[in-house]
């Protein structure tokens, strides 16, 4: 009679010992793979955009009203919270949150794999995920932006669905969507698991409620009409790549090749297992397929989009390695580690000329204006506002929202008439109400240059005069009668 309780006790002890060993190892590996993120003040304009948004929100701004972006509110709120606790002068707190997000993603994936295939599979998945998670251009892989914070929510959605916790799975899908719209793609494998569970009606109600409540709360906490427009209905022009096909597809192929290099140790086992055996992982293949759709959606193929592919890729690689001789596992992990080391070296050593450019502009901007002055930076580097500690004169932090250049196009659909609907009347009203003390034209010959944007060209001609040039950017100050 005394022996019966011992089996659960051993199970608990074994489970505790497993995670006691694995958690510190995954946390340490996450710190190593994210180490390059701490060596630069920022990595890309998305970080700069979020930093400016968070600073404006902290000073009484309202998302989708006084500051706007085509993104849901979760990541701007994370930035705002980090700035509230640690100050807005550094992105280090946000980088720490990114390390925690990567660690949590690895742990959830390890737990998924362990539940399905055992202890070794759990360790393998967690390690492989972290090794391939940096397999892109460092400005995409190391930046603490939207996709990094999508990943733990998508992993949590599968983790909850795998255990039949449909309400929690719906909430996790909602969190992924509220980090970035494409995070909602994880709903497809979750629905598949719901169908396979055999209780579709009750489970679907809990799943739907779990998703709807956080999304509705986010909409009500901001501006419901603005939330709907900026996250769903207002991006039709942005989602087209007409006129930029070769440019955009070239970027997509280049980023796919980079990720393939990072996965060089995993692709052969997956291909071999598909030829010789079935892995029995239909939900994982659906997860990968839905992530591919998410990467493709919008037809821009920026490198950070590809981060959504890494969690299902790590799980599928683990499933494939299980079907092959055990001696294949060390080789796959070693190859992945070597590729990871190459990407880390790239992140630590490669120069970042665009960051240097933004820093020079910010220094000149701060020197020529007072802290209370509002300024306008006409370009694609919103980080200039943040680096200079200056307030934007408008809610539109880049020229992209006013010209449709924000997708990195080189084609014809760039100009005033391709702006976000209703943007130019608002922009003109804001400049009239808060005339910028200084305008910085940072277009540097791109298709959105002022000479191709009549409204801005007329404004500069009527009220401003050139006062200098810095690193190719033109500075305009208000004339005495401006």
Tens of pLDDT, residue by residue over 299-346, are 788 999 999 999 999 999 999 998 888 888 888 999 999 999 999 999
Residue 234 three-state SS: coil
Q: Can you tell me the mean pLDDT for 16-23?
A: 92
Give me the DSSP letters along 216-228: HHHHHHS-HHHHH
- Per domain, the residue ranges of the chain are 17-349, 353-478
Mind listing the pLDDT tens digit for each residue in 114-164? Answer: 999 999 999 999 999 999 999 999 999 999 999 999 999 999 999 999 999
β-pairing, 374-378 with 438-441?
A: parallel
453 DSSP assignment: -
Count Cβ neighbours within 10 Å for each residue of 167-180 and write b for 16 or more, e otherwise: bbbbbbbbbbbbbb
d(CA 223, CA 226): 5
C-alpha to C-alpha distances, 32 to 37, 131, 146, nearest whole angstrom? 10, 10, 21
Question: With 50 as the cut, is the pLDDT of residue 165 above it?
Answer: yes
Q: Which residues contact 161 (CB under 8 A, 6 or more apart)?
A: 169, 189, 190, 193, 194
Q: Which H helix or E strand runs over 189?
A: helix 187-197
- The pLDDT mean for the chain works out to 90
pTM: 0.91
Q: Exposure of 161 by Cβ count < 10 A (0-12 exposed, 13-18 middle, 19+ buried)?
A: buried
Q: Can you tell me the mean pLDDT for 75-91?
A: 95
d(CA 111, CA 162): 11
């Amino acid at each position: 009679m005394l022996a019966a309780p011992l089996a659960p006790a051993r199970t608990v002890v074994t489970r505790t010992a497993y995670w006691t060993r694995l958690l510190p190892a995954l946390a340490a590996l996450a710190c190593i793979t994210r180490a390059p993120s701490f060596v630069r003040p920022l990595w890309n304009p998305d970080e700069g955009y979020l930093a400016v948004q968070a600073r404006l929100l902290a000073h009484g701004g309202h998302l989708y009203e006084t500051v706007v972006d085509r993104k849901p509110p979760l990541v701007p709120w994370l930035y705002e919270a980090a700035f509230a606790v640690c100050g807005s002068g550094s992105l280090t707190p946000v980088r720490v949150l990114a390390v925690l997000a990567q660690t949590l993603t690895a742990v959830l994936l390890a737990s998924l794999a362990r539940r399905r295939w055992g202890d070794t599979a759990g360790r393998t998945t967690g390690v492989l995920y972290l090794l391939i998670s940096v397999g892109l251009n460092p400005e995409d892989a190391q930046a603490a932006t939207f996709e990094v914070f999508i990943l733990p929510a998508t992993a949590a959605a599968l983790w909850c669905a795998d255990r039949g916790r449909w309400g929690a799975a719906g909430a996790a899908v909602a969190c992924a969507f509220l980090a970035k719209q494409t995070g909602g793609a994880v709903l497809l494998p979750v629905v598949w698991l719901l169908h396979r569970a055999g209780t579709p009606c009750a489970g679907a109600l809990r799943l739907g409620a779990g998703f709807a409540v956080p999304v509705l709360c986010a909409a009500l906490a901001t501006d419901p009409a603005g939330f709907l427009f900026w996250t769903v209905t207002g991006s039709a022009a942005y989602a087209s790549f007409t006129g930029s096909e070769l440019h955009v597809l070239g970027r997509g192929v280049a980023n796919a090749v980079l990720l393939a290099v990072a996965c060089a140790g995993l692709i052969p086992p997956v291909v071999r297992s598909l030829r010789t055996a079935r892995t029995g992982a239909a939900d994982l293949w659906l997860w990968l397929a839905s992530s591919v759709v998410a990467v493709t959606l919008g037809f821009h193929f920026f490198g950070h989009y590809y981060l959504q592919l890494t969690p299902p890729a790590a799980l599928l690689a683990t499933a494939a390695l299980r079907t092959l001789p055990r001696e294949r596992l060390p080789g796959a992990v070693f190859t992945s580690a070597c590729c990871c080391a190459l990407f880390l070296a790239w992140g630590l050593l490669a120069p970042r000329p665009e960051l240097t450019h933004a820093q020079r502009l910010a220094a000149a901007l701060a020197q020529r204006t007072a802290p209370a002055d509002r300024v306008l930076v006409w370009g694609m580097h919103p980080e200039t506002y943040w680096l200079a500690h200056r307030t934007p004169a408008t809610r539109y932090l880049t020229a992209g929202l006013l010209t449709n250049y924000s997708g990195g196009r080189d084609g014809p659909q760039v100009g005033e008439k391709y702006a976000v609907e209703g943007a130019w009347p608002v922009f003109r009203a804001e400049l009239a109400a808060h005339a910028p003390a200084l305008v910085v034209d940072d277009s540097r010959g791109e298709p959105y240059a002022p000479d191709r944007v009549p409204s801005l060209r007329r404004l500069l001609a009527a009220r401003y005069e050139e006062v200098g040039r810095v690193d190719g950017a033109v500075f305009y100050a208000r004339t005495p009668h401006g």
